[in-house]
Structure 1
Amino acid sequence: MSLNPQTLIERARANTGLQEFGSAPFRQSLDILCSSLREEARLSEEGAAKAEALLTGHLEERLRLEDFISRHPEVLDPPVAPAIFQIGMPRSGTTALAQHLSEDPALRSIPRWESKRLTPPETGSHGEHDPRIAEIRAEFKEAFAEMPWRQKILPNNYDDPAEHGLLMALTFLNLQWPTLFRIPTWTQWALEQDLTPGYQYLARVLKVLQWARPAMRWNLKLPPDLFALEAIAEVFPDSIFVWSHRNPVAAISSVCSLCAQVREKQGGATVDPLEIGREQLEFQALGVDRAMAARDRLGEDRFVDVRQADLGRDTMGTICALYTSLGLEMSDAYRANLETRMREKPRGRFGAHDHELAAYGIDEADVRGRMARYVARFHPDLALA
């Protein structure tokens, strides 16, 4: 495998016919990521080719975005609309919450088809003839056929709201990489970095997306945001955080299962479940630790808490209570859309996601012990177990 960063950069330039990546940083992170992928990720030949294609795709998208901005500099003039950042550990209900909020006409989400092709066409953006929609719909259909387990774990489609990790990946400061690949050197480096430049670039891209379709308020969601709440608050001063909570024992078990399946599919190699268990418990617990410390400094008025169990048991009531806490109107149009979604896309419609914590070499006591402060505050019944 090569995974040479300069080769990938030259390939992206050749594929697009463009040269300028803009001034936002990306090279140091890309260099370390490529080194970590070569030396630590245990990629098969097929896995290395997939990794190269993934990184090259991000470089190409950044070239296209910067070219678009150079031709339409006015898109950067308006401020980014206020944002609701949905935070929480992976597998804690953030996907379901983001999907429910995406039904509100007053909120602007990033549909998955848009996140895959961020640069808008010059005309017809978001219209029925937007060429990106049919292209990404076909990609999702192919992915469902190739990975039938995916909908059980991540029940979403091409038009559901995406995480903004694909936007963060344009600076390669995206803490989703450690789920996709075994990259301990890059992970340790990234955890020591100031992630503010990544969120500044996120704001830059959101301005482009606002040009394509205006936003009154953004509906944004990315679990690794837990690591960078103060950077988010600095870049997005009007933001509010909605923290989704789930029993961390169940959440860690589920995220280990997801990580194992994604790495095996992405990297084409056998994974070590015991290594994943230790790694993911520490990584996710560290994110929660940092988020709780940031919450103490930012103040409780920036946060609203939602429990996955409540969302599943009484979706409408939980959303109504959330909107009251946020000071937002629950419009008739939103209520009707949400009722339609709950009826047409019921929870668990693709089957249950089965996972066992013991398969990853850790147990409930390990999770409760490592996450003792979080458990004591948000899951006191679990603390007494």
Structure 2
Amino acid sequence: MKNSDTTLQQIRPQLPVRLFNGFGALLEKTRISSTRMSAADLIETAKRRCDLDDFGEGDFFEALSRLLESCQSEARLNLIGKIALKVDVLETLCSRLQMERDRRLYPEIERQQIREPLFIVGLPRSGTTVLHSLLAADPEHRCPLMWEVRSPSPPTHVDEKRRIQRATQSCNFFNWLVPAFRYVHAVGAEVPQECVSLMTPTFMSDQFDAMYYVPSYRAWFFGQDLRPAYQYHRRFLQHLQFRRAAPR
């Protein structure tokens, strides 16, 4: 019984979180709710925020639209969930804008060769993350880290400490918000990051299905040609390798 109580306590949201979400639920009941998010509005917001307008090659509008529609009609997001969705999408859009700017400022990025990449393939919860972490411990391997995937621009060592600090604060907040998640998957600024995060700028990634209950997006996603997502994955790796290279 004691173990069950501990487990329930671990998954129970913090009191401030419950109060905040309760306030959001009250707004929903009184129909004082926020306007639904649209892909077009978020794209324009990201452009204004970054003072940039070039997202590069690849059309992600349909993918983003389907993700937002599924999140808002199926995921049953609470108030914090809605805020997190908007923040995550805007950060992803801004990263894509900034990375495209970086490719113009640093033409060498496009000439980066991704040689002999290692692929880990396996079912969820089968130990792939452990293997990934073991391989990342070898200095011969260039493994993306959470902080640099979250803040890939600029592709230099400028503001590196500040970016790591911001990522650490974000991870600490997430661990406070969802304390039980650390028992499922390690969260940290300098923890190796997996490929799904490098595909998020295309909005065609398993990461969204893992974060939200989005059955219609999932069904659409599984029917897509994912070559654009893998092509962007390669572009992201070029970006990271330009900042810090390794033998493989």
TM-score normalized with structure 2 length = 0.81
1:180 aligned partner: 211
Instruction: From the superposition, tell whether residues 32 and 205 of structure 1 become closer, same or farther in structure 2 (CA, over 3 Å).
Output: same
Identity score, percent: 30
Alpha-carbon deviations, 1:263-298, whole Å to 9, x = none? xxxxxxxxxxxxxxxxxxxxxxxxxxxxxxxxxxxx
Let me know the Cα RMSD of the aligned residues. 1.7
Please tell me the residue identity of whatever aligns with 2:233: L
2:89 aligned partner: 55
Give the match's secondary structure for 2:120.
strand
Could you tell me how far apart the structure 2 residues matched to 1:98 and 1:15 are? 35
Alpha-carbon deviations, 1:289-347, whole Å to 9, x = none? xxxxxxxxxxxxxxxxxxxxxxxxxxxxxxxxxxxxxxxxxxxxxxxxxxxxxxxxxxx
Q: Which runs of 4+ in 1 moved over 6 A?
A: none
Correspondence 1:3-152 to 2 at 5 A:
3-124=37-158, 130-152=161-183
1:196 aligned partner: 227
Could you tell me how far apart the structure 2 residues matched to 1:138 and 1:50 are? 15
1:340 aligned partner: none
Answer whether contact 1:82 1:216 (CA < 8 A) is retained.
no
Answer whether contact 2:136 2:143 (CA < 8 A) is retained.
yes
Could you tell me how far apart the structure 2 residues matched to 1:5 and 1:156 are? 28
Could you tell me how far apart the structure 1 residues matched to 2:235 and 2:134 are? 26
Could you tell me how far apart the structure 2 residues matched to 1:46 and 1:135 are? 20
Deviates more, 1:24-33 or 1:146-155: 146-155
Could you tell me how far apart the structure 2 residues matched to 1:204 and 1:75 are? 8
Q: Which structure has greater strand proportion?
A: 1
Gaps of 5+ in 2: 1-34
Deviates more, 1:97-106 or 1:115-124: 115-124
Could you tell me how far apart the structure 1 residues matched to 2:87 and 2:60 are? 17
CA radius of gyration, larger in: 1
CA drift of 1:215 comes to 2.8
Answer whether contact 1:81 1:215 (CA < 8 A) is retained.
no
Answer whether contact 2:75 2:213 (CA < 8 A) is retained.
yes
1:167 aligned partner: 198
1:335 aligned partner: none
Greater relative contact order structure (CA < 8 Å, 6+ sep): 2
Could you tell me how far apart the structure 1 residues matched to 2:128 and 2:157 are? 33
Give the match's secondary structure for 2:108.
helix
Could you tell me how far apart the structure 2 residues matched to 1:32 and 1:153 are? 28
Gaps of 5+ in 1: 218-385
